[in-house]
Amino acid sequence: MGMTDGWRLEPGGQIRGTLTLPGDKSISHRALLIAALAEGSSRLDGVLDSEDCRATARALAQLGAEIRETSPGNWLVEGRGLDGLQAPGAPLDLGNSGTAMRLLCGLLAARPFPTTLTGDASLSQRPMERVASPLREMGARIKTDSGRPPIRIDGGPLQGIAYDEPIASAQVKSALLLAGLQARGRTCLTEAVPSRDHTERMLPLFGADCEVDGARICIEGGQALHGADVTVPRDLSAAAFFIVGTLIAPDSELKLPSVGVNPRRDGVLQVLRQMGAGVDIDAVDPVGREPVADITVRSSALTGTDIGPDLIANAIDEFPVLCIAAACARGTTTLAGVGELRIKESDRVAAMAEGLSTLGVPVEVGDDSVRITGRPMGGGTIRSHRDHRIAMAFAVAALAASEPIVVEGVRWVATSFPGFSGLARQAGMRLHDA
Ligand code: S3P
């Protein structure tokens, strides 16, 4: 973690140039995990170097996988197959990473040894029954602490099930697929709302069939995984901060090459276009099975819009920065279906409402929705609530603010995007350590 824990952003600035973004966080976790389960070697290229992904890699190494970074972003994983994993000597500490913890639950539920999974203060508050409960239906012995971490898993044989997912969660879906791969028989799940499908796209690269039929996904147990080479596309969730920054800054234009634009992830682009954003998305060759595009974005006058639950599900991690776009738009924006955002790395609804009201933009918070009416933004001191995306969203807000913004608690940015402040300065943001 860095020396300072705050940023000071001078108001205004222009965004120009071309930015090379880091690898996709969701896909990086999956590549590391699946490669560690496979037999033989896998080369992973473009893996995100962040605390969350390092937590996954560290946990896999504790489980006995041979896993090392050969050069920045390139990892070599020597898998010995599922049966090659061993009981770790100590609890697996997943830091801030919900993805690491939930996916590992699915992976470990069927391994014949006990494991304990722990996390930091934020992760220790997050709900884990959503993954523990369907795994128990498969026969897993798994205990949470009143629904939260630490999690104790006494791994053993699992039986395939048919499961209707009550909530949209790619993490739960992926955990069940990793468990299903090791279960007797077939595991099928039906999604409430379609969530990101990186796991379903990646498993076949390693030789495991995954049948997708609309909202229903099935996997046959007992399939062997073989090492594969994976290139990780650049992260659209990281791009979103700079896309909104460019839209709200004057006379700005930015190019973002080779960004992943999986249709289950691109809600942010749809919403911004609906708001009048000038964004060009030029499809380039897919990377593995993931669609990729060069994105060009220009300063644009934004207008308020209505965003429903289905679209929010495809822009779930972009909610903080979409709130900043809404604050800079003419008229009112309503974002509906925001319940899940209250249980992310922070309560993102409350954190955005607090920060925006500090800047002079009131947010009406309803039961499952928020309403934001665009207003000129002032400045002030913003708390990140130990949440990387809250910190980055308010840094971007300074581009359209009239006074300086101080963001407190920025060390959490290292969980997903350690290079953010450097790229922000390179692009033209007036960001200083404070
Ligand atoms: C993720 C899924 C989403 C998302 C998270 C990453 C993943 O969470 O918010 O940042 O990699 O599967 P849920 O699946 O809990 O909605």
pLDDT digits (tens, 9 = 90+) for 350-394: 999 999 999 999 999 999 999 999 999 999 999 999 999 999 999
Please indicate, yes or no, whether residues 206 and 237 belong to a single structural domain of this protein. Answer: no
Give alpha helix (H) positions in 25-169: 25-37, 51-62, 98-108, 129-137
Tell me if 327 sits within 8 A of 359, measured CB to CB: yes
Count of structural domains, the chain: 2
pLDDT tens-place string over residues 361-370: 999 999 999 9
How does the average pLDDT of the chain come out, rounded?
A: 97
Please indicate, yes or no, whether residues 167 and 293 belong to a single structural domain of this protein. Answer: no
Please indicate, yes or no, whether residues 244 and 113 belong to a single structural domain of this protein. Answer: no
Work out the percent of the chain whose per-residue pLDDT is above 70: 99
| Alpha-carbon gap, residue 351 to 293, rounded angstroms | 31
pLDDT score of 414 more than 90: yes
| Alpha-carbon gap, residue 349 to 343, rounded angstroms | 9
At 388, which CATH number?
A: 3.65.10.10
Give alpha helix (H) positions in 298-374: 309-313, 319-327, 348-358
Q: Find the mean pLDDT for residues 229-255.
A: 98
Dihedral in degrees, nearest 10, Cα atoms 29, 232, 180, 132: 30
Q: Is residue 15 part of a domain?
A: yes
Mutate to test the pocket of ligand 1, among 24, 25, 26 (most ligand atoms within 8 A of CB): 26
Q: Is residue 381 part of a domain?
A: yes
pLDDT score of 1 more than 60: no
The protein residue whose alpha carbon is closest to atom 11 in ligand 1 is 26
| Alpha-carbon gap, residue 172 to 59, rounded angstroms | 19
pLDDT value for 4: 80
| Alpha-carbon gap, residue 293 to 282, rounded angstroms | 5
Q: Find the mean pLDDT for residues 403-414.
A: 98
Please indicate, yes or no, whether residues 151 and 92 belong to a single structural domain of this protein. Answer: yes
Burial level of 250, CB count in 10 A (0-12/13-18/19+)? Answer: exposed
Ligand 1 centroid to residue 250 C-alpha, Å: 33
Q: Is residue 101 part of a domain?
A: yes
Ligand 1 centroid to residue 315 C-alpha, Å: 10
Query: Phi and psi of 311, rounded to 5°?
Result: -70, -40
Q: Find the mean pLDDT for residues 83-89.
A: 95
pLDDT score of 102 more than 90: yes
Q: Find the mean pLDDT for residues 220-227.
A: 97
Parallel/antiparallel/unpaired status of strands 141-145 and 148-154: antiparallel
Point out the ligand 1 atom lying closest to the alpha carbon of residue 199: 12
Q: What is the pTM of this model?
A: 0.98
Contacts of 280 (CB under 8 A, 6+ apart): 295, 296, 297
Last residue of a domain, one of 214, 231, 248: 231
- Domain containing 168 equals 25-231
Please indicate, yes or no, whether residues 140 and 271 belong to a single structural domain of this protein. Answer: no
pLDDT value for 351: 98
Please indicate, yes or no, whether residues 254 and 279 belong to a single structural domain of this protein. Answer: yes
Ligand 1 centroid to residue 97 C-alpha, Å: 10
Residue 374's alpha-carbon distances to 334, 348, 366, in angstroms, are: 11, 19, 18
Mutate to test the pocket of ligand 1, among 29, 236, 316, 322 (most ligand atoms within 8 A of CB): 316
Point out the ligand 1 atom lying closest to the alpha carbon of residue 340: 16
Please indicate, yes or no, whether residues 206 and 116 belong to a single structural domain of this protein. Answer: yes
| Alpha-carbon gap, residue 117 to 97, rounded angstroms | 11
Ligand 1 centroid to residue 415 C-alpha, Å: 14
Q: Is residue 321 part of a domain?
A: yes
Last residue of a domain, one of 204, 231, 258: 231
Please indicate, yes or no, whether residues 215 and 240 belong to a single structural domain of this protein. Answer: no
Please indicate, yes or no, whether residues 156 and 262 belong to a single structural domain of this protein. Answer: no
| Coil, helix or strand at residue 150 | strand
Burial level of 90, CB count in 10 A (0-12/13-18/19+)? Answer: exposed
Please indicate, yes or no, whether residues 222 and 244 belong to a single structural domain of this protein. Answer: no
pLDDT value for 189: 98
DSSP per residue, 173-227: HHHHHHHHTTSBSEEEEE-SS----HHHHHGGGGT--EEEETTEEEEETTPPPB-
| Alpha-carbon gap, residue 270 to 219, rounded angstroms | 31
The protein residue whose alpha carbon is closest to atom 15 in ligand 1 is 169
Contacts of 191 (CB under 8 A, 6+ apart): 165, 168, 173, 215, 216, 217
| Residue closest to 370 by CA, chosen among 326, 314, 401, 329 | 326
Tokens of 128: 């884990």
| Residue 2: band (very low, low, confident or very high) from pLDDT cuts 50, 70, 90 | very low
DSSP character for 22?
P
Taking each helix axis from N to C terminus, what angle separates 319-327 and 236-248, rounded to the nearest 10 degrees?
A: 10
Q: Find the mean pLDDT for residues 104-110.
A: 98
pLDDT value for 287: 93
Point out the ligand 1 atom lying closest to the alpha carbon of residue 313: 16
Last residue of a domain, one of 205, 231, 257: 231
Q: Find the mean pLDDT for residues 291-301.
A: 98
Q: Find the mean pLDDT for residues 154-161.
A: 98
- Residue predicted with more confidence, 71 or 80: 71
Mutate to test the pocket of ligand 1, among 196, 201, 342 (most ligand atoms within 8 A of CB): 196
| Alpha-carbon gap, residue 129 to 127, rounded angstroms | 6
Please indicate, yes or no, whether residues 245 and 340 belong to a single structural domain of this protein. Answer: yes
Q: Which residues' Cβ are closer than 6 Å to ligand 1?
A: 26, 99, 169-171, 174, 195-196, 316-317, 340
Q: Within its chain, how far is the Cα of 272 from the centroid?
A: 19
Ligand 1 centroid to residue 220 C-alpha, Å: 24
Q: Is residue 255 part of a domain?
A: yes
Backbone conformation region of residue 136, classed left if phi is above 0, alpha if psi is from -120 to 50, else beta: alpha
Q: Is residue 1 part of a domain?
A: no
Q: Which residues pair with 142 in a beta bridge?
A: 153
Query: Phi and psi of 213, rounded to 5°?
Result: -135, 95
Tell me if 403 sits within 8 A of 383, measured CB to CB: no
Please indicate, yes or no, whether residues 285 and 350 belong to a single structural domain of this protein. Answer: yes
pLDDT value for 418: 97
Contacts of 213 (CB under 8 A, 6+ apart): none
Q: Among all chains, which residue has been given the structure tokens 């609804």?
A: 349
Q: Is residue 11 part of a domain?
A: yes
Torsional sign, CA 294, 300, 303, 304: positive
Catalytic residues, which ones?
Answer: 317
Ligand 1 centroid to residue 127 C-alpha, Å: 13
pLDDT value for 3: 61
pLDDT tens-place string over residues 269-284: 999 999 999 999 999 9
